[in-house]
Amino acid sequence: MPDILRWLLWRDVQLVLRQHADVLSMLFFFVITTSLFPLAVGADPKMLHTIGPGVVWVAALLSTMLSLGRLFHADYQDGSLEQLLLSPVPLTMAVAVKIFAYWLTTGLPLVFLAPVLGMMFGMADQELWVMTWSLLLGTPVLNLIGAVGAALTLGVRGGSVLLAVLILPLYVPVLIFGAGSVVAVAGGQSAQGGISLLAALLVLTVVFAPVAVAACLRIALE
Amino acid sequence: MIEASHLTCVRGSRRLFHALSFSLQPGELLHVQGPNGSGKTSLFRILAGLAVPHAGKVLWQGRPIADQREEYAAGMLYLGHQPAVKDALGVMENLQVSCRLGGIEATLASLKQALDAVGLSACARLPARVLSQGQRRRLALARLWLGERPLWLLDEPYTALDAKATQMLEQRIMQHQSAGGMVILTSHQAPGLPMRALELGQ
Amino acid sequence: MRIFGFNIYRYAAPQEFHPLAGRIARWCAVAAAALLMAGLYLAFFVAPTDFQQGEAYRIIFVHVPAAWMSMLIYLVMAGWAAVGLALNARLSFMMARALAPTGAMFTFLALVTGAFWGKPMWGAWWVWDARLTSELILLFLYIGFIALHAAIEDARRADRAAAVFALVGAVNVPVIYFSVKWWNTLHQGASISLTKAPAMAAVMLWGMLLMVLAFWAYSIAVALWRLRCLITEREREMDWMNVAKEEA
């Protein structure tokens, strides 16, 4: 059984590595969106420093959300998803592996890109460090919650807008804890509270989200 | 052996079939016929366990398939309308991955043999993107030459196949039947094989 | 299963429940009107003027019950969604679907009355108070549920997908509320809360209780009426059900 999961991981990662246009455009979107804010509100360093963590986090959140439609869509269209439902592994585990592969190829690049963008906002080293950690813990949560939305809206017309409507409310805690931990550090407090809460969210979603996603996929493929 | 017991299927507001029952013993082939929209694909999805019928159940070796999902998955092969071919992977890679994900452990030699049998060995290293519809269908069918699963559910397997490929598929199905396998298939042309018929959409 | 001589499982069939729903709805509507009049009378004429907040505070008689109802209805909706998924019962899904618009309305009412309450105190139409912000997110969850159900054409899939979403939302509501409170303390030091309700005289408590009961009766009446419409819509489409009745 772990054999099957290994092959699934290999396949999903290979597919992204060979068709990397989607991931690259998502990363460009991340960069461009962050750059819009100074253009909109002016380049006053103090203000940029204040809004920096929030802007980077919101941009990361939006980039993640926009590319989530991709998670199951291709498999749904070409019939691979059906076959996955019929394979001997429990669907919950297969889903967990798919989301992990997705995070490796889309979430992790975001985590590495974020400190670079943070520097554009004049964030100090300590803040950049906390922001990277918060995104490292937060992007898997975003992917897991987003996967529930992606599974619910599979093949539905107007899917991507509906996806946003469904999961943005659910993203609020992640955003608050993630950006909040950086803001805390910027204000001289400890980031421990926010980071621990993020870690707790990660544990909760890793345990429960794949189950929900598997249920939604079965519903979508009936 | 597989048994369908009083299956009723409702799609939207239409009842496609009602209290449908049949059973299939090893070595038998069931040809499901009916006009378009009569519920053939819905029946196949119910038999595969992808869809839940409005009423009735499907039994595999005497037990409902809902109670033995993994065992049933290991004993059955379902090929639906879409060939499940990934453009970005190579032809050989596609076959390898789809076998592995289905739980079939195939050696490189047997994979090559299967590609040979469906006439795709020349394309083995090419990206699947360049395959035609007929070739994709053949790639999907290549799985029939690997890993002996007792039950085959084939939804319109002859789509996009030319005469030579059709013949090759029929030969393989006959082989499977004589080895004690069961086949349920649907197609618009009657296969030249000994079979029972099931008519939907009266 | 028989309760007081009634076979309750009979009422799991939509057509059987339809007339019963109508009877219950009528009684609840009458009760709602009566309770509403009593509650509003207490709120506007009997409760004393607060020396700090003046007459404006009276809006809490609508704001607080509406907020409670918005959360209660979401829980009930999620409860019916869970029952529907567990028992595969069409009527449960329809009940959840029928409750959603009423829940959304109460959430919206709570937000609007919250704004009206805050304006004289804070001078702004909106404050990012923890409760109001959580109510706003709850409104989004309701809208998401309704939008998801509307976007999926197959009725069975729509029911089940929306039900899963309702449950996922229900699990998240405490997390969201906690995170918003945390956010408030983080960004403003001491927590900002919407103007505290004045110390409760007994008559105010009675007023709020009457308003809650009025809203509750209203919700039941309206949800059941909506349910009757959904039943009629769905069952009329099912022409084969008439065939089954003829066969039986």
C54 - beta bridge partners?
A: C50
DSSP B65: G
Kind of pairing between the strands at B2-11 and B55-60: antiparallel
A119-147 residue pLDDT tens:
999 999 999 999 999 999 999 999 999 99
Confidence bin at C237 (pLDDT 50/70/90) = low
Other C-beta atoms closer than 10 Å to the C-beta of B100 total 19
Supply the pLDDT for residue C190.
46
Tally of domains in chain C: 1
Give the orientation angle of helix A192-220 with respect to helix A91-102, to 10 degrees: 130
> What ipTM does this complex have?
0.89
C123-166 residue pLDDT tens:
777 878 788 888 999 999 999 999 999 999 888 899 999 999 99
Between C12-16, C40-44, C104-108, the lowest mean confidence (pLDDT) is in: C12-16
CATH number corresponding to B2-199: 3.40.50.300
- Which chain B residues have a beta carbon less than 8 Å from that of A79? 80-84
Smallest CA–CA distance, residue B98 to chain A, in Å, is 8
Q: Is the pLDDT of residue C122 over 80?
A: no
In what side-by-side order are the strands of the sheet with B182-186?
Answer: B76-79, B151-155, B182-186, B29-33, B196-199
Q: Is the pLDDT of residue C89 over 60?
A: yes
At A100, the amino acid letter reads: F
C9 within a domain of the structure (yes/no): no
User: Inter-chain contact C240–B15, Cβ cutoff 8 Å?
Assistant: yes
C-alpha A6/C-alpha A83 separation (Å) is: 16
A64-106 residue pLDDT tens:
999 998 899 999 998 999 999 998 889 999 999 999 999 999 9
3-state SS class at C6: strand
DSSP B160: T
Q: Is the pLDDT of residue C197 over 70?
A: no
C172 within a domain of the structure (yes/no): yes
Smallest CA–CA distance, residue A222 to chain C, in Å, is 8
In a mutagenesis test of the B interface, which of C238, C243, C246 is the best target, namely the one with the most B β-carbons within 10 Å? C238
At A175, the amino acid letter reads: L
A94 neighbors A8 (Cβ within 8 angstroms):
yes
Supply the pLDDT for residue B121.
87
User: Inter-chain contact C147–A165, Cβ cutoff 8 Å?
Assistant: yes
Among the listed residues C70, C98, C138, C67, the one whose alpha carbon sits nearest the alpha carbon of residue C220: C98
Kindly give, in sequence order, each residue whose CB lies less than 8 Å from that of residue A31, ignoring residues fewer than 6 positions away.
A113, A117
Q: Is the pLDDT of residue C70 over 90?
A: yes
Kindly give, in sequence order, each residue whose CB lies less than 8 Å from that of residue C188, ignoring residues fewer than 6 positions away.
none
Could you tell me the pTM of the whole model? 0.89
Confidence bin at C191 (pLDDT 50/70/90) = very low
Supply the pLDDT for residue C55.
73
In a mutagenesis test of the B interface, which of A5, A15, A87 is the best target, namely the one with the most B β-carbons within 10 Å? A87
Reading chain B (202 residues) residue by residue, the pLDDT tens digits are: 888 888 888 877 777 888 888 888 888 888 888 888 788 888 999 999 998 888 888 999 888 988 888 889 889 999 988 899 999 999 999 999 999 998 888 889 999 999 988 888 888 889 999 999 889 999 999 999 997 899 999 998 888 888 888 888 888 998 898 888 899 998 877 666 777 777 776 5
3-state SS class at B7: strand
Which chains neighbour B (Cβ–Cβ under 8 Å, 3 or more pairs)?
A, C
C245 within a domain of the structure (yes/no): no
| Domain extent for C69 | 20-47+55-231
B101 in contact with chain A, both atoms CB, cutoff 8 A = yes
B184 neighbors B40 (Cβ within 8 angstroms):
no
Size of interface A-C (CB pairs under 8 A): 75
Which chains neighbour A (Cβ–Cβ under 8 Å, 3 or more pairs)?
B, C
B183 - beta bridge partners?
A: B29, B152
C-alpha C22/C-alpha C19 separation (Å) is: 5
Domain spans of chain A?
A: 2-220
User: Inter-chain contact A173–C172, Cβ cutoff 8 Å?
Assistant: yes
- Which chain B residues have a beta carbon less than 8 Å from that of C240? 10, 13-15
